[in-house]
Amino acid sequence: MQEHDTSWVRTEMALAQPAPATERGAYAWVRKNLIGSVGDTVLTLLGIAIVLWVVPQVINWAFINAVWTGPDRTVCTTASQGGIQPDGWTGACWAFVNAKFGQFMFGTYPVEERWRPILVAILFVVLLVPMLIPRVPRKGLNAILLFVALPIVAFFLLVGGVFGLPHVETPRWGGLLVTLSLSFVGIAVSLPMGIVLALGRRSKMPIVKWLCVVFIETVRGIPLITVLFFASVMLPLFLPEGVSFDKYLRALIGVSLFAAAYMAEVIRGGLQAIPKGQYEGADSLGLGYWQKMGLIVLPQALKLVIPGIVNTFIGMFKDTSLVLIISMFDLLGVVKQNFADANWATPQTAKSGLIFAAFVFWLFCFGMSRYSMYTERRLDTGYKR
């Protein structure tokens, strides 16, 4: 009897069938994402209406009808307002931004000395870019150059008064120069201060602990404007007669103290997330307090809270605009100051200037937040829950 082997085993894989026509291609995507149900379709139509209403207006205003160059307000005003544009015209007045660009960047920094902030900016970029790219070696040296050498060099370059550089008083600084320098120094000061405050708050020494708690909670409970008021009105009273310091420095102290309190809370979150075993392990190895913190706990804790730290940086960068209240002129302050220029007084001036400033702020903040997301992914060693 011949044996019939009824079992049959396929030796090669069957080719995958394409998905049904309704489940692939553009139509399926549209059906899934735009017109899934009646409600969805209504929402989509609403969305299309919003986009069609907003986008053409914005493009028209910002690009098509915009005026890019011009000597004064006449190019940005309609005939009835005394200008050259037809009545009913609305468009961005980029000519205003163009004409005031130098001021927006440097404030009233003397024109012939503007190479100094530009040089500082170039040095900053040259040091910052390798710092941000993980593959570039020698991070330690780079960090020392960026956070120690650069501020010193920048200080002498910007303030002057030595090596034959003419002295430029800080009230003449302005624009993006003030925004960037305030936030850079603020960042460089607030991070170590925040670490110290966070460690102090978790310290076992009651007096140190309560001092830190009171400082952090008080500063976090009041608006930055109050802190700036404090720095600008009360600091001079605290010093003996004859000793006074610069308004710029006072604003710097205010902004740094404010950011340090927020930073401390962010870092405390990281410290609390480190398992107790890590502390005990360090103790059992015989490490001292600072060794334990510096080598074991902080590297892990800081890594955990990178998003929070960057958010604090972004918040601080935005908050530097408040120095305008104590009459210092950062980017926003200079833009606002220039609304009063009779040469450029048009209905479009304020909007154009503010949108330009918003764009600059947005670029920096968005860049920082994207970089933090990238770092978070790169440093993620999988321990995070």
Partner 1 sequence: MASQEILREEPSRGSFINDPRIRSLFFQTLVVILLFSSIWWIVHNVIENLQRLHIASGFGFLWSRAGFDISDTPIAYTSDSTYFRALVVGLLNTIIVAVAGIVLATVVGFTIGIGRLSQNWLIRKICTVYVEIFRNIPPLLVIFFWYSGVLAVLPPPRESIHLPFGSFLNQRGFYLPRTVWGDGSWLIGVAFLLAIAMAWFVAHRAHQRQRATGQQFPVFWTSVALIVGLPVLAFLLSGMPLTFDFPKQSTFNLTGGFWIKPEFLSLLLALSFYTAAFIAEIVRAGIRGVSRGQTEAAAALGLRSGPILRLVVIPQAMRIVIPPLTSQYLNLTKNSSLAIAIGYPDLTATAGTVLNQTGQAVEGVFIMMIAYLVLSLVTSFVMNIVNARMALVER
For 63, residues 6+ apart whose C-beta sits below 8 A from its C-beta are: 92
Of 10-18, 100-108, 221-229, 291-299: span binding partner 1 (CB under 8 A): 221-229
Among 56, 134, 166, 223, binds partner 1 (CB under 8 A): 223
Q: Which two tokens stand for residue 115?
A: 């190479």
Q: Is 369 in the site for partner 1 (CB under 8 A)?
A: yes
Among 25, 36, 161, 299, binds partner 1 (CB under 8 A): 36
* Residue among 363, 333, 163 at smallest CA distance from 248: 333
Among 20, 86, 137, 240, binds partner 1 (CB under 8 A): 240
Can you tell me which residue has the tokens 């930055």? 224
Distances (CA, A) of 138 to 121, 131, 148, 152, 163: 21, 9, 15, 21, 31
The answer to whether the beta carbons of residues 77 and 85 sit under 8 Å apart is: yes
Q: Is 56 in the site for partner 1 (CB under 8 A)?
A: no
Q: What is the DSSP string of 195-263?
A: HHHHHHHT-S-HHHHHHHHHHHHHHHHS-HHHHHHIIIIIHHHHSPTT----HHHHHHHHHHHHHHHHH
Among 4, 10, 204, 377, binds partner 1 (CB under 8 A): 204
Within 292-321, the residues that bind partner 1 by CB under 8 A are 314, 318-319, 321
Among 121, 365, 375, 376, binds partner 1 (CB under 8 A): 365
Distances (CA, A) of 336 to 95, 175, 178, 328, 332: 16, 11, 15, 12, 6
Among 109, 173, 184, 230, binds partner 1 (CB under 8 A): 230
Among 221, 277, 286, 382, binds partner 1 (CB under 8 A): 221
**Residue 385 CB, nearest distance to partner 1 (Å)?**
12
Measured CA to CA, the distance from residue 155 to residue 123 in angstroms comes to: 13
Helix (H) and strand (E) counts for the chain? Answer: 17, 0
Of 122 and 233, nearer to partner 1 (C-beta) is 233
For 129, residues 6+ apart whose C-beta sits below 8 A from its C-beta are: none
Residue type, 379: L
**Residue 353 CB, nearest distance to partner 1 (Å)?**
9
Q: Is 188 in the site for partner 1 (CB under 8 A)?
A: no
Q: Is 9 in the site for partner 1 (CB under 8 A)?
A: no
Q: Is 272 in the site for partner 1 (CB under 8 A)?
A: no
Q: Tell me, residue by residue from 332 to 361, as one string, x for binding to partner 1 by CB under 8 A and - for no binding.
A: x---x--x-------xx-xx--xx-xx--x
Which residues bind to partner 1, rule: CB under 8 A?
A: 32-34, 36, 40, 43-44, 46-48, 50-51, 204-208, 211, 218, 221-226, 229-230, 233-234, 236-241, 314, 318-319, 321-322, 324-325, 332, 336, 339, 347-348, 350-351, 354-355, 357-358, 361-362, 365-366, 369
